[in-house]
């Protein structure tokens, strides 16, 4: 193994959404991540969240299955689970029965407590309850769902990883592990610090598409081009705005009235007319190498081929599946390219052998249906 997290051992309980991505990102940076699955299945190269991980499929309803799981946890630094509160305890694998040096990561939408903690939900629900969803989208239509990037993966995965690694650092001081309660309804508001500040300062309204970062401003939005494709404009600073106007030959009084919001509707309309006079490729060529903060809106297939992404190898293909390279990057402890997603349960023999089980014992487990 290589990478800055090569010393970490992680046990992940299979699930969906932010917890598997957290395990993948840890594995990307070198951590040994073993997934405890419910049942075996063939390898699926499209299941990117499983890349770089190992897998064992156990029947946790059997005492022998719990014994194996506990042995795995005893060797681990981190446990990751994304079930509703109380599920792990009912399995007999709650924090109280785990080693006191373990960092126990719990990933949920609502958190481990509160009146909604046992209620089902998804990214859109967590996003809506935090005030974030209300701010996204056009003023005259319902809020726009930003995929499941903001709550699941921004407020969920990233804060889970932040908490896990923080607890590992603290363990180096105290010698003790702890439970990390990562909730999306905590993480999303934490990412909204700038918006909360602007609201407190009277510089941000609650109406969608009325503020300088939500598509209302002509200098921070997307425009359709002559070929039906789109270009993004983010010329916030006055010098960048001036360059935008000059290159695009947009008639305008200039940066002095850039933030006069009473002009924005008419400016957006005039900017839209101008951007629709050329194709996206033509605008790309005009703005190439400038500080006007203009970039093409690329689709999934186009993005890997853009010269900036290609030069940095932002994407790579594994078994013809395009995916992101490990991030961030390190000057010294560079991780290897992630291994392809393996079969569910495909590493059972190696894992059990490392725990001290011999060939006969492993065979009996299979005969008894312990390895599912």
Catalytic residue check, 259 = no
Identified catalytic residue from 152, 186, 267, 347: 152
In whole angstroms, what is the distance from residue 177 CA to residue 167 CA? 7
Identified catalytic residue from 44, 47, 122, 259: 122
Q: Closest Cα to residue 277, out of 239, 232, 223?
A: 223
Please tell me the predicted confidence (pLDDT) of residue 1. 61
Superfamily in which the 220-311 domain is placed by CATH: formyl-coa transferase, domain 3 (3.30.1540.10)
Model-level pTM? 0.95
Q: What are the distances in angstroms from CA 95 to CA 36, 90, 111?
A: 17, 11, 16
Q: Closest Cα to residue 157, out of 260, 32, 21?
A: 21
Catalytic residue check, 122 = yes
Tens digit of pLDDT at every position of the chain (372 positions): 689 999 999 999 999 999 999 999 999 999 999 999 999 999 999 999 999 999 999 999 999 999 999 999 999 999 999 999 999 999 999 999 999 999 999 999 999 999 999 999 999 999 999 999 999 999 999 999 999 999 999 999 999 999 999 999 999 999 999 999 999 999 999 999 999 999 999 999 999 999 999 999 999 999 999 999 999 999 999 999 999 999 999 999 999 999 999 999 999 999 999 999 999 999 999 999 999 999 999 999 999 999 999 999 999 999 999 999 999 999 999 999 999 999 999 999 999 999 999 999 999 999 999 998
Q: Which residues contact 323 (CB under 8 A, 6 or more apart)?
A: 48, 51, 315, 316, 317
In whole angstroms, what is the distance from residue 192 CA to residue 194 CA? 6
What residue ranges do the domains of the chain occupy?
A: 9-191+330-367, 220-311
Please tell me the predicted confidence (pLDDT) of residue 2. 86
For domain 9-191+330-367, which architecture applies?
3-Layer(aba) Sandwich (3.40)
DSSP tag of 228: S
Q: Which residues contact 107 (CB under 8 A, 6 or more apart)?
A: 18, 19, 22, 80, 81, 82, 156, 157, 160, 182
Q: Are 369 and 60 in contact (CB under 8 A)?
A: no
Angle (CA) 47-229-123 rounded to 5° is 40
């Amino acid at each position: 193994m290589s990478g800055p997290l090569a010393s970490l051992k992680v046990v992940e309980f299979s699930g969906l959404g932010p917890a598997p991505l957290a395990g993948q990102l840890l594995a990307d940076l070198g951590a040994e991540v073993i997934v405890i699955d419910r049942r075996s299945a063939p390898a699926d190269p499209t299941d990117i969240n499983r890349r770089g991980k190992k897998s064992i499929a156990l029947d946790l309803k059997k005492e022998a299955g719990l014994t194996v799981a506990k042995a795995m946890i005893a060797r681990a630094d981190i446990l990751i689970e994304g079930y509703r509160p109380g599920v792990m305890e009912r399995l007999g694998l709650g924090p109280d029965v785990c080693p006191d040096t373990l960092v126990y990561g719990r990933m949920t939408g609502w958190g481990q407590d509160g009146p909604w903690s046992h209620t089902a939900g998804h990214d859109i629900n967590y996003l809506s309850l935090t005030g974030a969803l209300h701010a996204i989208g056009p003023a005259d239509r319902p809020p726009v769902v930003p995929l499941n990037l903001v709550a699941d993966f921004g407020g969920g995965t990233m804060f889970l990883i932040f908490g896990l690694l923080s607890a590992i650092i603290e363990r180096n001081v105290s010698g003790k592990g702890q439970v990390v309660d990562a909730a999306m309804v905590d993480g999303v508001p934490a990412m909204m610090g700038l918006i909360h500040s602007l609201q407190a300062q009277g510089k941000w309204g609650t109406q969608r598409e009325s503020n300088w970062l939500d598509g209302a401003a002509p200098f921070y939005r997307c425009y359709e081009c002559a070929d039906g494709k789109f270009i993004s404009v983010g010329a916030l600073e006055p010098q960048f705005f001036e360059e935008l106007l000059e290159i695009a030959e947009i008639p305008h009084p200039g940066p002095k009235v850039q933030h006069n919001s009473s002009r924005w509707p008419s400016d957006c309309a005039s900017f839209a007319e101008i951007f629709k006079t050329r194709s996206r490729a033509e605008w790309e060529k005009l703005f190439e190498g400038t500080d006007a903060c203009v970039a093409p809106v690329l689709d999934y297939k186009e993005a890997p081929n853009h010269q900036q992404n290609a030069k940095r190898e932002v994407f790579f293909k594994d078994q013809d599946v395009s995916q992101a390279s490990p991030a961030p990057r390190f000057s010294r402890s560079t991780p290897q390219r992630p291994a392809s997603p393996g079969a569910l349960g495909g590493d059972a023999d190696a894992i059990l052998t490392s725990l001290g089980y011999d060939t006969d014992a492993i065979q009996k487990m299979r005969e008894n249906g312990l390895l599912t």
